[in-house]
Structure 1
Amino acid sequence: MQELEEVGIWWIPSDPDFQVSGLLKFSSSTGIRLELIGSFQEYRKVDCPIILGVTQGKLVTLCGNKPIHSRSSSPGFESEKYSVKTAFIGAHFSNLDEMKFHRIAVEYSYLADWANLPLIRRQEELEEDNYNIRGFDFSYTRPEPIRGNTSQGVLSLVYTWHNSGLPFQINFSQSATFEIKSQEHLSFEEWMSKLIFTLQNFITLATDRPNSVTRVLGFSPYGDRAIEETPHFTKQDVSIEIIYRSVYTETRQKDRLLRDDLLFELKDIQETFGDTMAQWLTIAAELDSVCNLFFSTRYSQRMYQENHFLNIVQAVESYHRRRRSNRILPKQEHEKRINRIVNNASEGDKEWLKQKLAFSNEPSLKERLVYLVKETREIIAPLVNDEEPFIKQVRDTRNYLTHYDKSLQKKAVKGGALYWLTYTLEILLQTCFLKELGFSSEQCVALFDKNERYQFAIRETKGTNN
Structure 2
Amino acid sequence: MTNDPLNLDESAEWSGLWWLPGAPDEQVPGVLRYEPEDGLVLSLIGTFEDRILSNLSPGMTVFHEGSRTWDVIHGAAEQREITLLGCVPNSSKRTIGARVKSPDKQIVVATTAIIGAHVSGEDDAAFSAAEVSVEDLGLWAASSAFEGFLGASDGRPDGTGSISVKPVETQSVVVDGTEFRLMHRHTLPFFDQRKGGTVGRMRDTAFVRAVPADPFSVSGARATARLVQDLIALATHRAAGVIWLRLEVAGTGLVSPGERPAPPRHADVLCSPSALGKHDGKAVDHHRVFFTCASLPFKEVVPRWCEAHGRLQAATNMILGLRYAPARYVENNLLTAVGAAEVLHRGLGIDEKPFPADEFKAMRDAMLAQVPEEHRDRFRGSIRNDPTLRDRLYALAARTDRDAIARLMPDVDRWARRTTRARNDLAHEGRTPNHSVDELIAIVDVTTAVVILNVLHELGLPAERQRQIVQEHPQLRATASTARKWLVAPGADS
- Pick the TM interval, shorter chain: 0.7 to 0.9
* Aligned partner of 2:207 among 177, 188, 192: 177
* Structure 2 Cα separation of the partners of residues 288 and 97 of structure 1: 22
Q: Is the 8 A contact 2:148 2:163 kept in 1?
A: yes
Q: Is residue 34 from structure 1 mapped to residue 60 from structure 2 by the alignment?
A: no
The residue number in structure 2 matching 1:356 is 382
The residue number in structure 2 matching 1:69 is 91
Q: Is residue 366 from structure 1 mapped to residue 390 from structure 2 by the alignment?
A: yes
Q: Is the 8 A contact 2:41 2:110 kept in 1?
A: yes
Q: Name whichever structure is richer in helix by fraction.
A: 1
Name the aligned partner's letter for residue 301 of structure 1.
Answer: P
Equivalent positions of 1:175-214 (< 5 A) are 175-193=205-223, 195-214=224-243
**CA positional deviation for 1:291:** 1.9
Q: Is the 8 A contact 2:126 2:215 kept in 1?
A: yes
Q: Is the 8 A contact 1:9 1:19 kept in 2?
A: no
* Structure 1 Cα separation of the partners of residues 142 and 331 of structure 2: 37
Give the RMSD, CA atoms, in angstroms. Answer: 3.3
Q: Secondary structure at the match of 2:215?
A: strand
Q: Is the 8 A contact 2:368 2:376 kept in 1?
A: yes
The residue number in structure 1 matching 2:247 is 218
The residue number in structure 2 matching 1:433 is 455
Runs of 5+ consecutive residues of structure 1 not aligned to the other structure: none
The residue number in structure 1 matching 2:286 is 259
The residue number in structure 1 matching 2:364 is 338
The residue number in structure 1 matching 2:15 is 8
* Aligned partner of 1:381 among 381, 406, 423: 406
* Structure 2 Cα separation of the partners of residues 72 and 95 of structure 1: 29
* Structure 2 Cα separation of the partners of residues 147 and 319 of structure 1: 29
Greater CA drift, 334-343 or 205-214 = 334-343
- TM-score (normalised: structure 1): 0.86
Closer/same/farther in 2, CA of residues 8 and 457 from structure 1, 3 Å limit: same
- TM-score (normalised: structure 2): 0.81
Equivalent positions of 1:388-403 (< 5 A) are 388-403=413-428
- Alpha-carbon deviations, 1:94-127, whole Å to 9, x = none? 566645322111111111121124373456899x
The alignment-based identity, stated in percent, is 20
Q: Is residue 299 from structure 1 mapped to residue 287 from structure 2 by the alignment?
A: no
Q: Is residue 268 from structure 1 mapped to residue 275 from structure 2 by the alignment?
A: no
Q: Is residue 412 from structure 1 mapped to residue 459 from structure 2 by the alignment?
A: no
Name the aligned partner's letter for residue 367 of structure 2.
Answer: I
**CA positional deviation for 1:318:** 1.4
Q: Is the 8 A contact 1:147 1:155 kept in 2?
A: yes
**CA positional deviation for 1:28:** 3.0
Q: Is the 8 A contact 1:380 1:427 kept in 2?
A: no
**CA positional deviation for 1:373:** 2.1
* Structure 2 Cα separation of the partners of residues 434 and 283 of structure 1: 10
* Structure 2 Cα separation of the partners of residues 112 and 385 of structure 1: 36
**CA positional deviation for 1:177:** 0.5
Closer/same/farther in 2, CA of residues 322 and 332 from structure 1, 3 Å limit: farther
Closer/same/farther in 2, CA of residues 96 and 375 from structure 1, 3 Å limit: closer
The residue number in structure 2 matching 1:290 is 315
Greater CA drift, 98-107 or 280-289 = 98-107
**CA positional deviation for 1:294:** 1.7
* Aligned partner of 2:75 among 53, 56, 68: 53
Q: Secondary structure at the match of 1:421?
A: helix
Q: Is the 8 A contact 1:8 1:23 kept in 2?
A: yes
